[in-house]
């Protein structure tokens, strides 16, 4: 175990070694520094902590690891798109994977398939997400402004305080992954409008879809920025035509349709969950929390009790002030000025939307009211301020300025380049046992079906068996149990009422001798649990979780969207495209 102060020392030593190596390379060997390679080296510094064995003392790393185990089991062993999570709620199950972020768990499954433990698979996902977020930001701003601005913007993006909070303290794998896709979506928009090609049409479609699969709340929040940037880029183009804008929007829409297998069921079925019935009130930070951290003179972003700081950042605020100054002094050329104004306006809107005064807007806006935290918008604000940093560097255009600005932006966050401590004893085996042996339901999950009621103590604890007889007499033998199919042979001697210890959610059906029978999930003693009645006789009962019509439709829609994109890609080049 390496306490946090030792990690700070290690990170400091490695930073000094990197700095000395850079000086020797440039001034002794007289070599030109490749900014992209330097970016990769710098982005690896906050990841040293991830190499420590075990899980983090704070954050959601352990929870995500346990759920990744369930996801991988469904994906690998049952060849299913995971929708039902049988281990949750002490074995009663839950439609968690129907609503949870798909791409982070899928990517984690790929890492596990390659040989990493489940815990290390998520650590690898966090590391790759962090590094690639810097890469995508670098290439977007490089395309807009040049290499030096791209490098500076990437450093700001990587070392934005909230990015490090997400990486090491909250450990939100979905938000970390979403950082990767925001810049590349804007890059693809710019390329599509300025110099249309099928390649960028496909990239924009795929990345728009992947952002939704990463984090639907951020995808929805980012959509206005996406649309605004489309119009901005189009207006800045000299020889613009409606065709450029039309195909850009078609590409984005194609991306949404491509992943409709995920978001369409969420839209239609969320009303059957606790979060859909009673959305969690949006949590807002205080105005001062966005400007200053409360610990270690403002340089530590997590308190002793796990409290988190949501500050924007000190050099980041300096960049915003400098951008405003340049506007009033009229020191920028037309395109640079307009780009500066565009991202300043978005930054101001985001800042206001994070404050409690905008609570009524969050409460009445569809989808936003399910976001839980207004501070999620810091992901988008990170992108905007990083772009502003690139504009400032482009204006100043001095190497010494880039070095000083990037150095201080990275170094003041050094206390946060790792979780405060790890617990080496906690590994995959421990987490699997803890996840499967939990005996009590601690509270309502957001995806908890609306019919269940924890005030009824009989469903708070793990059931003694998978199926129970409530009334009557019968002999029951379990034949097969998979996550979505429970098969029993039941010999009924007198009319019985049976409780199958699974939470009901639309999609569960029961067949007895291949005939569907009624499910009662509103039993006053066991609300939300599947119960059913059988008359005297012998039955082969199958309790199955099937795809609802909306899920079947969404799969077909995704498949047809993919087919449409493939057909479009392989259309001969000499075939004229329709004009809007």
pLDDT of 575 over the 70 cut: no
The predicted structure's pLDDT at residue 2: 47
The predicted structure's pLDDT at residue 573: 62
pLDDT band at 578 (very low <50, low <70, confident <90, very high): low
pLDDT of 443 over the 70 cut: no
The predicted structure's pLDDT at residue 201: 93
pLDDT of 204 over the 90 cut: yes
Cα separation, 1 vs 7, in Å, equals: 10
Cα separation, 262 vs 266, in Å, equals: 7
Determine contact, residues 489/456, Cβ cutoff 8 Å: no
Residue 545: strand, helix, or coil: strand
SS3 of 95-141: CHHHHCCHHHHHHHHHHHHCCCCHHHHHHHHHHHHHHHHHHHHHHHH
CATH classification for the domain delimited by 457-546, as one of 2.170.120, 3.40.1620, 2.60.40, 3.80.10: 2.60.40
Q: How many CB atoms lie within 10 A of CB 480?
A: 9
Cα separation, 161 vs 166, in Å, equals: 9
- Residues 81-90 have a mean pLDDT of 88
The predicted structure's pLDDT at residue 442: 66
Determine contact, residues 247/201, Cβ cutoff 8 Å: yes
Residue that wins the pLDDT comparison between 370 and 33 = 33
> Which tokens in the block code for residue 96?
């968690």
Of 396, 401, 385, residue with least CA distance to 141: 385
- Residues 323-327 have a mean pLDDT of 93
Query: Which of the residue ranges 116-130, 383-397, 426-440 would you say has the lowest mean pLDDT?
Result: 426-440
Percent of the chain past pLDDT 70, that is, above it, reads 96
pLDDT of 456 over the 60 cut: yes
The predicted structure's pLDDT at residue 580: 47
Residue that wins the pLDDT comparison between 214 and 197 = 214
pLDDT band at 574 (very low <50, low <70, confident <90, very high): low
Q: Write out pLDDT tens, residues 372-394.
A: 889 999 999 999 999 999 999 99
Cα separation, 44 vs 418, in Å, equals: 12
What separation in angstroms does the CA of 383 have from each of 156, 263, 290? 9, 24, 16
Determine contact, residues 48/65, Cβ cutoff 8 Å: no
The predicted structure's pLDDT at residue 277: 66
Of 187, 195, 191, 208, residue with least CA distance to 251: 208
Residue 295: strand, helix, or coil: strand
- Residues 357-364 have a mean pLDDT of 90
Average pLDDT, the chain: 91
Residue 482: strand, helix, or coil: strand
Residue that wins the pLDDT comparison between 169 and 77 = 169
Of 511, 469, 515, 463, residue with least CA distance to 93: 463
Residue 483: strand, helix, or coil: coil
Cα separation, 93 vs 459, in Å, equals: 12
- Residues 60-65 have a mean pLDDT of 92
Of 439, 313, 393, 451, residue with least CA distance to 144: 393
Beta-sheet strand order (sheet of 467-471): 467-471, 496-503, 529-534
Q: Which residues of 269-286 are buried (b: 16+ CB within 10 A; e: fewer)?
A: bbebbbbbeebeebebbe
| From-to residues of CATH 2.60.40 in the chain | 457-546
pLDDT band at 436 (very low <50, low <70, confident <90, very high): confident
pLDDT of 498 over the 80 cut: yes
pTM of the model: 0.93
Give kind and range of the element (H or E) at residue 274.
helix 274-277
Q: How many CB atoms lie within 10 A of CB 526?
A: 20
Ramachandran category for residue 276: left, alpha or beta (phi over 0 → left; psi -120 to 50 → alpha):
alpha
The predicted structure's pLDDT at residue 244: 87
Q: Write out pLDDT tens, residues 268-324.
A: 999 999 877 667 788 999 999 999 998 989 999 998 888 899 999 999 999 999 999
> Which tokens in the block code for residue 255?
């991306």
pLDDT of 1 over the 70 cut: no
Q: How many helices (H) and strands (E) are present in the chain, helices listed first?
A: 21, 10
The predicted structure's pLDDT at residue 576: 54
CA 466 to mean position of chain CA atoms: 34
């Amino acid at each position: 175990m390496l306490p946090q102060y030792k990690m700070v020392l290690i990170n400091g030593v490695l930073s000094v070694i990197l700095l000395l190596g850079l000086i020797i390379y440039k001034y002794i060997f007289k070599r030109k520094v490749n900014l992209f390679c330097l970016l990769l080296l710098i982005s690896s510094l906050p990841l040293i902590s991830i190499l420590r064995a075990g899980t983090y003392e704070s954050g959601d790393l352990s929870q995500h690891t346990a759920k990744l185990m369930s996801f991988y089991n469904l994906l690998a062993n049952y060849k299913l798109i995971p929708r039902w999570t049988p281990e949750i709620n002490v074995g009663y199950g839950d439609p968690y994977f129907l609503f949870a972020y798909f791409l982070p768990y899928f990517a984690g499954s790929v890492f596990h398939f390659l040989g990493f433990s489940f815990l290390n698979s998520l650590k690898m996902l966090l590391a790759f997400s962090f590094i690639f977020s810097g890469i995508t930001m670098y290439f977007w701003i490089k395309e807009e402004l040049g290499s030096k601005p791209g490098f500076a913007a990437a450093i700001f993006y990587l070392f934005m305080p909230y990015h490090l909070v997400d990486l090491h303290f909250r450990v939100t794998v979905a938000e970390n992954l979403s950082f990767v896709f925001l810049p590349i979506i804007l890059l693809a928009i710019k390329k599509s409008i300025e110099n249309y090609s099928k390649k960028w049409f496909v990239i924009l479609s795929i990345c728009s879809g992947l952002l939704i699969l990463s984090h639907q709340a951020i995808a929805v929040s980012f959509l206005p920025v996406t649309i605004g940037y489309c119009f901005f880029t189009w207006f800045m183009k000299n020889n613009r035509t409606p065709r450029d804008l039309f195909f850009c929007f078609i590409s984005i829409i194609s991306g949404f349709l491509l992943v409709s297998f995920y978001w369409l069921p969420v839209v239609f079925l969320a009303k059957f969950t606790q979060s859909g019935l009673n959305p969690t009130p949006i949590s807002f930070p205080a105005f001062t929390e966005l400007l200053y951290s409360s610990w270690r003179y403002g340089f530590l972003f997590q308190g002793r009790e796990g409290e988190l700081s949501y500050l924007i950042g000190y050099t980041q605020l300096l960049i915003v002030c400098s951008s405003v100054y340049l506007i009033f002094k009229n020191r920028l050329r037309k395109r640079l000025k307009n780009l500066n104004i565009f991202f300043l306006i978005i930054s101001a809107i985001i800042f206001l939307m994070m404050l409690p005064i905008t609570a009524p807007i969050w409460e009445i806006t569809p989808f936003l009211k399910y976001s839980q935290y207004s501070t999620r918008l810091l992901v988008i604000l990170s992108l905007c301020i990083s772009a502003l940093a690139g504009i400032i560097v482009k204006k100043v255009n001095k190497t010494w300025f880039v070095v000083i600005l990037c150095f201080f932006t990275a170094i003041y966050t050094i206390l946060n380049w790792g979780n405060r401590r790890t617990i080496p004893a906690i590994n995959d085996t421990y987490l699997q046992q803890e996840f499967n042996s939990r005996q009590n339901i601690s509270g309502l999950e957001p995806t908890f079906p609306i019919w269940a009621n924890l005030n009824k103590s009989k469903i708070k604890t793990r059931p003694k068996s998978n199926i129970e007889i409530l009334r009557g007499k019968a002999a029951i033998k379990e034949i097969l149990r998979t996550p979505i199919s429970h098969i029993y042979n039941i010999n009924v001697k007198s009319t019985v009422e049976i409780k199958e210890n699974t939470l009901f959610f639309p999609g569960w059906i029961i067949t007895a001798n291949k005939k569907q029978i009624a499910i009662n999930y509103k039993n006053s003693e066991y609300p939300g649990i599947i119960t059913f009645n059988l008359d005297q006789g012998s039955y082969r009962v199958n309790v199955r979780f099937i795809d609802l019509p909306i899920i079947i439709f969404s799969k077909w829609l995704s498949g047809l969207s993919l087919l449409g994109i493939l057909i479009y890609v392989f259309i001969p080049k000499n075939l004229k495209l329709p004009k809007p």
